[in-house]
Amino acid sequence: MKKTFLIAFTAALFVFAGCEKKAPSIPPTEDSSQFVNLTDAVPDAILEIRYYGTYNFVGARIDGYEQPTALLTRKAAEALKAVSDDVIAKGYRLKIYDAYRPQKGVDHFVRWAEDLQDVRMKPYFYPDLDKSVLFDQEYIMLKSGHTRGSTVDLTLFDMNLEKEVDMGGTFDWFGPESHPDFCGNPDTGEYTGDNSKSPATPKRSITPEQFANRMILRKAMLSHGFKPLSTEWWHFTLVEEPFPETYFTFPVREL
């Protein structure tokens, strides 16, 4: 990987997980007064905080995750409660992988991406990619919308089957298979089976049922004020986020 911090900063300020590239105009802050514990606002949510454990693309606990909990701005949490009520009526619960992410966590991702020798989790999260392309293809960036506090990574849990809903791919899979438009049109909900963007040989695909499951989550989130990301079926940001230019630095722990 020949990219350096100097090149990265002169080119642009990047953001992990598909967020904007411009530098924030408001200084980072430790102020957590407008945040809540996600499960206080959404008591039915199930937490599986991947960055507190070791089953994630880094393979280690991420800096800044001091407790296996999730935090959100109060406004985002209130909107997520409406989503939760919606999916509960359909027999599901929300399962949360990540919410607010402190800047030191993003910095940890950057250090990991620069260490091209550390590929211990490659078979599980990026088998089709050489690690050297993670910056160029914007899988790893210097800033994240999660750090603004109104973005959440999540899936559905089926209460009748007592297991996580099959979305056809794992959270944080680096590849087009994670895109909402993989094998279908997310705007219309139509399954097309088009797996031409998959780099695997033979190419990977998801089933009509797996695509439909992604659309259940997407529809519920969009119906209650969240916007999707074009590259991750699990990632949603509150449209009217209260801190669109503020990046927070306090750790993830119970408030």
Residue 191, beta-bridge partner list: 184
Which helix (H) or strand (E) segment is 66 a member of? none
For residues 57 and 131, the answer to whether their CB atoms sit within 8 Å is no
Q: Which two tokens stand for residue 104?
A: 């030191």
* DSSP, res 85: H
* DSSP, res 197: T
How far apart (Å, rounded) are the C-alpha atoms in residues 121 and 60? 10
Q: Which residues are designated catalytic?
A: 232
Q: Which two tokens stand for residue 70?
A: 């999730």
> What is the torsional sign of CA 175, 176, 178, 179?
positive
Instruction: Please enumerate in sequence order all residues whose Cβ is within 8 A of that of 111, keeping only pairs 6 or more positions apart, or say none.
Output: none
Residue of 49, 135, 131, 134 whose CA lies nearest to 95: 49
Which helix (H) or strand (E) segment is 170 a member of? none
How far apart (Å, rounded) are the C-alpha atoms in residues 17 and 139? 6
